[in-house]
């Protein structure tokens, strides 16, 4: 199993350190992003297990134009 390096850590770490600074729009955006990616996992017929905030990894993508 190969994973891309998650330079922003887990969702649990992120929420533990940033929860009070996030507004509801940011929190809902996180939930929508997780839901959309979970749909992609299911559509690709991959199997996931032990799904919790410590296993949801986040990356910071920089776009250069």
Q: What is the DSSP letter of 5?
A: -
Which pLDDT tens digit goes with each residue over 9-31? 888 998 899 889 999 999 999 89
Helices (H), the chain: 11-18, 24-43
Inside any domain, residue 26: yes
Give the domain range for residue 36: 9-64
- The structural domain count of the chain equals 1
pTM, full prediction: 0.71
Tell me what percent of the residues of the chain surpass a pLDDT of 70.
85
**How far, in Å, CA of 63 to CA of 8, rounded?**
16
Inside any domain, residue 39: yes
pLDDT recorded at residue 28 = 93
Inside any domain, residue 24: yes
**How far, in Å, CA of 13 to CA of 4, rounded?**
17
Radius of gyration from C-alpha coordinates of the chain: 13
pLDDT recorded at residue 63 = 46
């Amino acid at each position: 199993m190969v994973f891309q390096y998650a330079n922003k850590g887990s969702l649990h770490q992120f929420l533990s350190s940033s929860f009070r600074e996030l507004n509801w729009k940011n929190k809902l955006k996180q939930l929508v992003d997780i839901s959309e990616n979970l749909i992609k996992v299911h559509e690709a017929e991959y199997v996931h297990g032990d799904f919790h905030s410590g296993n949801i990894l986040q990356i910071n993508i920089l776009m250069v134009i």
